[in-house]
Structure 1
Amino acid sequence: MGTGNRPQVRRIVISGYYGFNNSGDEAVLRSILLALEEQGREQGVEIQPVVLSGDPAWTSRMYGVESVRRMHPGDLWKALRGSDGLISGGGSLLQDATSAKTIPYYTGVMKLAQLLGKPTFAYSQGIGPVNRRWMDPLIRGVMKRSAYVSVRDAESAALLGRIGVPADRIEVVPDPVMGLPLPAGAASADPGALRAGEPPVVGVSLRRWRGDGADLGRAAEALVALSKRMPVRLRFLPFHTPSDTETSEQVMERLRGRLGDESSAELAAPGDDPQQMLLAVSRCDALFGMRLHALIYAANQYVPMLGLSYDPKIDQFLHRLGQAPIGTTDRLDAEAFADAACSLLADREGWLAVHKPAIDELKRQSQRPAQQIVQLLRHTLLR
């Protein structure tokens, strides 16, 4: 029972790929923390997060929350045992494309919480690809025992359904980063209005994927083709440091001496704070993105975008906006890219007229998981 008007406290462990200098995953964490704080305030519950991190000291400094070592069994056990529940939070946690260890780790954390009698919540998960069928029971077991399951696209829900998770237990919601605000005191820019007479800024977010680098070569050719059509200021945005920084520098080297007149290329350094990266994206006139969260940042700030697909999650997000990728890591036509980019830069308002309703709906729905989780926690307080 409550004491006066003082909010009840709930300690929630948050599991994800945090503390690894990946702006997209850090944005997921920041978005979850802000949404939980807002929904807790509205429902009279004080949420005290405990974040599992690859760098707990950094995570604590960045977000002002308690953080413990994600791979240390003693820390994990103590955090879960002293908690009121676990959020398995956001991002592409349950997939085996990057490693066969990923799914066993994240489902293992959820299973441990369940064995300790703690409610578990899947927060806007991106599920798949899952290529190893022996992973299916791991996912099915923890999801069927979770108090709340939300996924970030219909394809993830369908995959869970094929694995054996009942459809009526799965809610499809947006990626949490759709609700991430700009830093306090920062205003979203109206890109073209601030630089009348200057070349438009095109944000570029690339990652290494193909071992032979052919995808990056095609991306460079596409950017050269655009610069020959019109002056542009290419601003490379490294979402995962240091790897994206190195990739950006390699592509910029391919561009050296080849860009059209009055065009240029530069490397942005917005720092570790995901909201500062969001601000950097907001100051672009268009964005060419390979990283999923670069595209989500752009949608968040109504920046017209062209996506390069390396994974189904890129196609799935663009589909929710009514778009398709401009190319893939195996195929990208430089002239078709230049045509599309020029069209976006020439008619930003036209792009907004088509896509703003879908973006607004995703932004509106982005609070849904936090709302549901806090409500479930609140109901346990009233028993």
Structure 2
Amino acid sequence: MKVIHLISGGDSGGAKTHVHTLLQNLTKAIDVTMVCFMEGPFAQEARELGIPTVVLEGKNLLRTYRTLKDMIVKEGYEIIHCHGARGNMMGALLKRATGLPVVTTVHSDYRLDYLGRPLARLFYGTTNTIALRLLDYRIGVSDAMTDLLISRKFDPDRLFTIYNGIDFTPRVPAVSRENYLRSQGIRPEDDPIVVGIAARLNPVKDVATLIRGFAGAYRSCPRLRLLIAGDGEERQMLEHLAQELGVSDVVRFAGWISDTDSFYHALDINTLTSLSETFPYALTEGARAGLPTVASRVGGVPYLIENGVTGLLFEAGDADGLAKQLTVLAKDPTLRAHLGQRLLHKGQTEFSIESTFRRQLQIYETILRRKARGSAKRDGVLVCGAYGRGNAGDDAILEAIVAELRALDPDLPLWVLSRNPSSTRMTYRVNSIYTFNFLRFLRRMTKTRLYINGGGSLMQDVTSHRSLWFYLFTISAGKILGNKVLMYGCGIGPIHSPGNRRRAASVLQKRVDAITLRDTHSREELRNMGVDRPRILLSADPTVILPAAPKQVVDGILEREGLDPNGRYIGFTLRPWPGYQRKVEIFAAAADYAYRTHGLTPVFLPIERRLDLGAIAQVTDLMHVPFHVVENTGASAHTIGLFSRMKVVVSMRLHALVFSASQGVPLVGVVYDQKISSFLSYIGQDLYTDLDALTLERLQAQINAACQRIDDKAFLTQGVDRLRTVEERNSQTAAWLLGLADAPKEE
């Protein structure tokens, strides 16, 4: 593989470090050449690192273009990789002339690159903005940068993310902690808790908020000390601020430092207070030292610092919020140790030089694979379902479908109909269309190969007749406009209206190529409706393939919620439904019973927050024992991880049962819809009761029975193991309709 990199050669800071470190490692695996458009320290340092470097100076753009074109063609380069405005401009010109794929790394917000320089912004800024749209692929230097590009309508299918990795090899500091602190005027014998920051002392880094927050925390934690490494135009102002706040005796300014290893080794808490960041090296440096970190919630920071899991976050500029977080850490050495260990583990796994290097090679391989694939008149998949409405179960279905489709073909273009297309684009890195933008999704259907009616109970008229009609319309349109049509891991019914049953049967019979079902009841429902023409296979809900978050992450989430990671809990997932109000006292009494009889603390876990939290509050208002409500369970992996820590789960929600079953947790179902009992019967579970028939005695008896199964892992996992096996029929059927595999066998 031969790749040519184009960059101005005047870069500094993070972009310089990223390019030098990346190319130094890439030269060990592939043929790389860097072309700079000016001579200087950047090019010289690259040569010293062993990076093949060519400098093409001069202001004659046409001559530089011809030289580069001849060089690329003669030497057989396969990819052009650009950095910055001048590189992007030249890459856009060379794209058509060479026929090669062109990718750029976006190191910063291109709209802010020339602030304060109006002429440069007018020429280079405008040129860069246009060039970015003309190039084939873009790489964001953090997920936040990629999100920014997605928000500006760049195609998610042509975006990648890479991070500024660092070397996580353990470092031995040149100076001991005690000696380093003494050198900075901090007495080790005072047993200090040292808070630190390494940053330029300019307004963007907002070190003033750090001093104010530190002063607030110091009042309740007098062992705290603050060590500030760095220099800049705000230093004098910051020194005066420390005096005004009465903390100048415990705040030390170290100035510029070169021995960062000794600095971070001397700290107990690392901080970052910036008003704006992409992905700062200061965080990964602190991660390498295993330091608990408090950081402002800006840019790419939350992708490394997950609040309460790998660190603590506060809103930028909020000194009181920072003081609160510093106080929490100062008073809890165990929490400091846990956060630091988790941050180190995440940094080693995701933000090391090795991971950056591997990721860049994967990006190149993807680009070349897509070039070899070529373009076709029709390509890709359009997925439709109840997405973008804040329901964790529906969102997990989409996550599973996207994962399975990308496993089949990582280069398959994916489009999703969503009620919140911007969120869907950000979360799943797919193109998304507003669900009711008929013109756009009908136009897209003329270009895709497969239409997926995506999971869940879409074929029902209990909640709405109109939603059923809408999904039937999209199925018909997808088929008429030239797609294969697949209903993916879905449930059928109940459809009560005779007219709706006839309409649904007609559409499914005529317009659908294959249906994979998540339970046996749905198969019976299709038979009763007379639907037999599509290929029909019994499979499972797609979400059974989704993993729980790693142990240390779930531990962190529980600690953030104020729960012991090793505690004993019973999970409750409730939802409003006709007749629920009459059962509220039963749920409250059952939760009290589980605590008093089995020592299980009730934890309430919503699946659709906007509905479930109200139903939960009605129960908790009547309880007499300790309980906890997790108001936001987070991403699918986090939600599944939380359910995995329950000893027993009582649920009205199907996906709470699916998530729990996938983790081998004993289940008690409360049936408001036949899909609940169908699922539990399908996996061999027998503890469920209709909502209308629910009594306290029955619910207590089923909780008792579920508690007896806590250690019976063979019973709990046998049904789920079968589910995961048959779930493969979902993706196998999609592969068949895409022409990637033979037709799956029917039962």
TM-score normalised to structure 2 length: 0.46
Aligned with 1:366: secondary structure? helix
2:679 is the alignment partner of 1:317: yes
Q: 1:147 — aligned with what?
A: 513
2:463 is the alignment partner of 1:94: no
2:740 is the alignment partner of 1:356: no
Cα offset, 1:304, TM superposition:
1.1
2:562 is the alignment partner of 1:200: no
Aligned with 1:110: secondary structure? helix
Match of 1:26 among 376, 395, 398: 395
Match of 2:645 among 275, 279, 283: 283
C-alpha change, 1:188 and 1:245, in structure 2 (3 Å) is closer
Q: 2:690 — aligned with what?
A: 328
Cα offset, 1:165, TM superposition:
1.0
Q: 1 or 2 for the larger relative contact order (CA 8 Å, sep ≥6)?
A: 1
Q: How does 1:155-304 map to 2 (within 5 A)?
A: 155-166=521-532, 169-183=535-549, 200-210=568-578, 213-255=581-623, 258-259=624-625, 264-304=626-666
2:441 is the alignment partner of 1:80: no
Match of 2:468 among 100, 103, 108: 103
Q: 1:373 — aligned with what?
A: 734
8 Å CA contact retained: 2:666, 2:709: no
Match of 2:383 among 4, 9, 14: 14
CA distance in 2, matches of 1:152, 1:212: 26
CA distance in 2, matches of 1:188, 1:364: 26
The structure that has the greater radius of gyration is 2
Supply the AA of the counterpart residue of 2:384: S
Aligned with 1:220: secondary structure? helix
CA distance in 1, matches of 2:390, 2:705: 34
Q: 1:192 — aligned with what?
A: none
- Aligned CA RMSD, in angstroms, stands at 2.6
Greater CA drift, 158-167 or 340-349: 340-349
The alignment covers a number of residue pairs equal to: 363
8 Å CA contact retained: 2:590, 2:699: yes
Supply the AA of the counterpart residue of 1:375: W
Match of 1:68 among 425, 428, 433: 433
Per-residue CA deviation, residues 217-274 of structure 1 (Å, 9 max, x unaligned), is 322222222233132211101100211112112211111xx23xxxx21111344422
Cα offset, 1:77, TM superposition:
1.4
CA distance in 2, matches of 1:208, 1:323: 24
8 Å CA contact retained: 2:472, 2:504: yes
CA distance in 2, matches of 1:207, 1:54: 21
Aligned with 1:238: secondary structure? coil
Cα offset, 1:324, TM superposition:
2.6
Per-residue CA deviation, residues 56-99 of structure 1 (Å, 9 max, x unaligned), is 00111111111110112122212212211200010000001111
Cα offset, 1:168, TM superposition:
7.2
Supply the AA of the counterpart residue of 1:136: R
Greater CA drift, 206-215 or 173-182: 206-215
2:483 is the alignment partner of 1:122: no
Aligned with 1:126: secondary structure? strand
Aligned with 2:433: secondary structure? strand
8 Å CA contact retained: 1:203, 1:281: yes
Cα offset, 1:204, TM superposition:
0.7
Per-residue CA deviation, residues 169-188 of structure 1 (Å, 9 max, x unaligned), is 21111111111122478688
Supply the AA of the counterpart residue of 2:382: V
8 Å CA contact retained: 1:35, 1:367: no
CA distance in 2, matches of 1:174, 1:245: 28
Aligned with 2:649: secondary structure? strand
CA distance in 1, matches of 2:565, 2:403: 38
Greater CA drift, 5-14 or 371-380: 5-14
CA distance in 2, matches of 1:204, 1:175: 21
- Percent identity of paired positions between Structure 1 and Structure 2: 26
CA distance in 2, matches of 1:325, 1:339: 9
CA distance in 2, matches of 1:315, 1:210: 18
CA distance in 2, matches of 1:98, 1:353: 37
8 Å CA contact retained: 2:661, 2:720: yes
Supply the AA of the counterpart residue of 1:88: N
Q: 2:163 — aligned with what?
A: none
CA distance in 2, matches of 1:221, 1:296: 25
Supply the AA of the counterpart residue of 2:605: L
Q: 1:137 — aligned with what?
A: 502
